[in-house]
Amino acid sequence: MWQSDFGLAKRIPLTELAQLQFRGEFFNILNRAQYGQRLSDLSASNFGQIVATVNVGPVGTGTPRQAQFMLRLEF
């Protein structure tokens, strides 16, 4: 299992003591599917098929492509 993540940041000086930081983070940027195990129940009609992904939760490895942006004021 693997996925490619990417982040980019830019600092913008406002005054001598304050600066603004803009950041973008992208998770699973290639949107690579990570499939779960095949069904191994011989009595199931879909025996041998993959019917789920590795992670069905909202975060972590194996999730769909996600992007988040941040704006931070530093002083």
**So where are the chain's domains?**
6-74
Mean pLDDT, the chain cut into blocks of 10 residues (75 residues total): 88 95 92 77 81 68 85 95
15, 10, 31: which is closest to 75 by C-alpha? 15
Ramachandran region, residue 4 (left: φ > 0; alpha: ψ -120 to 50; beta: rest): beta
Q: What is the pTM of this model?
A: 0.64
**pLDDT value at residue 33:** 76
**pLDDT value at residue 31:** 81
